Amino acid sequence: MSRIVAADELGIAQAVEALRRGGVIGLPTETVYGLAADATNDEALRRVFAVKDRPATHPLIVHVADAPQLDALALEVSDSCRVLTTHAWPGPLTVIVHANDTVSRVATGGRDTVAVRVPAHRAALAIITQLGRPLAAPSANRFGEVSPTSARHVADDLGDDVDVIVDGGDCAVGVESTIVDCTTPQPEILRPGAITAEDIALLLDPHGVALASEPTGESRAPGMLARHYAPKARLHLVEPGSPLPRATAPVLDCSHDLASVARTLYGSLRDLDQRGVQEVNVLMPPPRGLGHAIRDRLQKAAFPARVGSLNRGGPTPPHS
């Protein structure tokens, strides 16, 4: 079993040493725990993909210690991108920019763009700063499965495949960062998160910049695949006021206190599997604010359920 170390001076030093040796670590952030490697070490990055069983074309998010480090990775940074990072970093916001030649194309999945963020977590920032290099860190779980929000989740999922897990406590946000593509004429939200579309619009509006209404093109960022974050249990997504599709199944209420729901969502999905629950009715949150991020995660976790109708009492296709 992987070593779980405290997020103190000694534990951080052990994590940094593992990274310098080309290892991978469990990295606490405010969103979810990451499986982190030195973003300048291609061999270590390939190990991240192998441990997660992640497609090599699916890009990783590069974590840096402060906003000026974005310029060391980007060919250019748009004015709208500057606005967002100035106001939202450190925090659960990832921006996509054109990558310069110093950025590993292993980390970018072969693309000429790179996803970057500054995590709002003391231990993560200390590790990045002491290493002196950026970290690439997708969620610390097998690809497509439920993301981890505690050190124990990482150990349970990855075991000896990760060298050191830094226990920074339970994640404060609980869902992955908002991803905004800043390479397009109008910034596009590719993945909703705790920095909401409303938040981003308020930041950009005084500068005369509008968000694109919908992302266009192929999947080009983490979390854009149709199926993701999926437990073994079969989820029946239920809009408020609709009948429960499975009257005898338990109910997971995600419709109220959305900050608490987001913080505990992945733990709740993991608990269903630990208890051997086969089916669950999930009461959906409203489609506004943080509710967009929670709905996104639940819809991907329930795929290939009929997301459009959200199971308004009709049959649910098999969960695969």
Cα gap 5→165, rounded to integer Å: 6
209-266: pLDDT as tens digits: 999 877 655 555 665 555 567 899 999 999 988 999 999 999 999 999 999 999 999 9
pLDDT at 102: 97
**Do both 139 and 199 map to the same domain?**
yes
Please answer whether residues 34 and 92 qualify as being in contact, where contact means their C-beta atoms are separated by less than 8 angstroms. Answer: no
Task: Kindly report the pTM of this predicted structure.
Answer: 0.91
**Do both 269 and 188 map to the same domain?**
no
Please answer whether residues 270 and 317 qualify as being in contact, where contact means their C-beta atoms are separated by less than 8 angstroms. Answer: no
**Do both 244 and 136 map to the same domain?**
no
**Do both 10 and 57 map to the same domain?**
yes
50-96: pLDDT as tens digits: 999 999 999 999 999 999 999 999 999 999 999 999 999 999 999 99
Cα gap 173→189, rounded to integer Å: 18
**Do both 189 and 278 map to the same domain?**
no
**Do both 10 and 122 map to the same domain?**
yes
Tell me how crowded residue 120 is: count the other CB atoms within 10 A of its CB.
19
pLDDT band at 287 (very low <50, low <70, confident <90, very high): very high
Please answer whether residues 44 and 38 qualify as being in contact, where contact means their C-beta atoms are separated by less than 8 angstroms. Answer: yes
The contacts of residue 87 (CB under 8 Å, 6+ apart) are: 203
- Token pair for residue 306? 């009929």
**Do both 266 and 164 map to the same domain?**
no
pLDDT at 310: 40
Q: To which residue do tokens 């709002």 refer?
A: 120
**Do both 10 and 149 map to the same domain?**
yes
- Token pair for residue 238? 């239920």
Cα gap 4→310, rounded to integer Å: 40
Q: Answer whether residue 151 is part of any domain.
A: yes
Cα gap 51→313, rounded to integer Å: 39
pLDDT at 316 over 60: no
